[in-house]
Amino acid sequence: MRGWPVSLSEPHLLGEAVGLRPVRVSDARAWREIRVRNAPWLRPWEPTNPETPLYRSSLGPYVAMVRAMRREARQGQAVPWVVTYGGAFVGQLTVGSITWGSARSGQVGYWVDEAYAGRGITPTALALAVDHCFSVIGLHTPVWVILLLAFCFGALTSLQYTSMNTLVYADITEEEASNASSIASTMQQMAISFGVAIAGLCTVFFLGANAAASPAAFIHGVHKSFYALGGLTVLSTVVFHSLRAGDGDSVSQHKVLHSD
């Protein structure tokens, strides 16, 4: 994976340098000492993961955990760091559940020694990790894709609103223009509101109850929602089949060059 392994540091922001470095097998004793000492402090936030080494276990489970993290890092699935403050081991920060392809996302988990809490160490370490993931590892949508999508969205939206507004006022007389403008504005706001509501319902329907527990299931559910909303958009074009050939002649500015 590009940008890994790597050590990061912010030496000037706090009293001591805040650093991130890859986990090491040699950290086993320090890790266990801090975890045992901070058991009451960490318990409210700790997941009940059977693969996490017990606080008072031997060093073997920690070694196995480090090897698993390194394997996931080689496979591009995780970025496991140790958080240091002034060179001392004070916590962990891991970017895990990394998804590539179009999603390019991940989840961040971290913990810090209670003795070092409240000093801004974790926010600084998190900022280092996020900057590295975005700028080096590549957990972001490429800029050219964002620009292309923005251009296409803007062009198609402008075309849609120009066409719809032209059709709305095509056969309206000047005397009716004010009332027509009010009705059209109300209809547009209602359409936007209904669209947001339908999008929310589709998302909830496809995500299901257990999507939050699995990033892959969450992304898959969102993709299904986009497909469903796209299908509804295409289906809505059926209304244009009711248009007659002469609708909009008053604003088309077509000129008859030859008449029979």
The CATH number covering residue 23 comes to 3.40.630.30
Does some domain include residue 259?
no
Q: pLDDT tens digits, residue range 130-170?
A: 888 888 887 777 777 788 889 998 998 888 778 777 777 77
Residues 16 and 133 in one domain: yes
| Integer Cα distance of 83 and 23 in angstroms | 9
What pLDDT does residue 214 have? 65
Please determine, for residue 55, whether its predicted confidence score (pLDDT) is greater than 60: no
Residue ending a domain, among 103, 137, 171, is 137
Beta bridge partners, 92, equal 82, 111
| Integer Cα distance of 141 and 74 in angstroms | 22
Residues 28 and 90 in one domain: yes
Kindly indicate the confidence band of residue 1, based on its pLDDT and cuts at 50, 70 and 90: low
| Integer Cα distance of 206 and 231 in angstroms | 15
Number of domains in the chain: 2
Please determine, for residue 54, whether its predicted confidence score (pLDDT) is greater than 70: no
The predicted model gives 183-210 an average pLDDT of 84
Residues 117 and 12 in one domain: yes
Kindly indicate the confidence band of residue 85, based on its pLDDT and cuts at 50, 70 and 90: very high
Beta bridge partners, 89, equal 84
Residues 126 and 177 in one domain: no
Kindly indicate the confidence band of residue 204, based on its pLDDT and cuts at 50, 70 and 90: confident
Residues 123 and 223 in one domain: no
What pLDDT does residue 17 have? 92
Burial class (CB within 10 angstroms; exposed 0-12, middle 13-18, buried 19+) of 91 = buried
Please determine, for residue 38, whether its predicted confidence score (pLDDT) is greater than 70: yes
| Residue 87 and residue 99 in contact, taking contact as beta carbons nearer than 8 Å | no
Residues 154 and 244 in one domain: yes
Range of the domain at 217: 143-252
Residues 13 and 52 in one domain: yes
Does some domain include residue 210?
yes
- Measuring CA to CA, which residue among 66, 112, 61 is closest to residue 89? 112
What pLDDT does residue 77 have? 83
The predicted model gives 86-90 an average pLDDT of 91
Q: List the single range of 5-9, 62-66, 221-225, 249-253 with lowest mean pLDDT.
A: 249-253
Does some domain include residue 257?
no
Residue ending a domain, among 108, 137, 166, is 137
Q: Which residues are CB-neighbours of 27 under 8 A, at least 6 positions away?
A: 62, 66, 82, 89
**In whole numbers, what is the pLDDT of the chain averaged over residues?**
81
| Integer Cα distance of 182 and 211 in angstroms | 42
- Measuring CA to CA, which residue among 4, 13, 15, 144 is closest to residue 80? 4
What pLDDT does residue 21 have? 92
Residues 162 and 100 in one domain: no
What pLDDT does residue 212 have? 62
Residues 109 and 174 in one domain: no
Residues 159 and 224 in one domain: yes
Residue ending a domain, among 109, 137, 165, is 137
Q: pLDDT tens digits, residue range 229-248?
A: 888 888 888 877 777 776 66
What pLDDT does residue 160 have? 79
Does some domain include residue 118?
yes
Global confidence as pTM: 0.53
Residues 70 and 186 in one domain: no
Question: Token pair for residue 90?
Answer: 């004070």
Residues 153 and 245 in one domain: yes
Q: pLDDT tens digits, residue range 17-29?
A: 999 999 888 888 8
Q: Is the dihedral of CA 46, 49, 53, 56 positive or negative?
A: positive
Does some domain include residue 63?
yes
The predicted model gives 101-119 an average pLDDT of 84
Residue whose tokens read 């059709």: 167
Q: What are the C-alpha distances in Å from 157 to residues 150, 161, 164, 240?
A: 10, 6, 10, 17
Does some domain include residue 2?
no
Residue whose tokens read 């008072």: 56
| Integer Cα distance of 53 and 59 in angstroms | 9
Does some domain include residue 229?
yes
More confident residue, 117 or 102: 117
Long-range contacts of 103-111 (CB under 8 A, 24+ apart): 103/219, 104/138, 104/139, 104/140, 104/141, 105/139, 105/215, 105/219, 106/79, 106/133, 106/139, 107/215, 110/83, 111/38, 111/42, 111/45
Percent of the chain with pLDDT over 90: 12
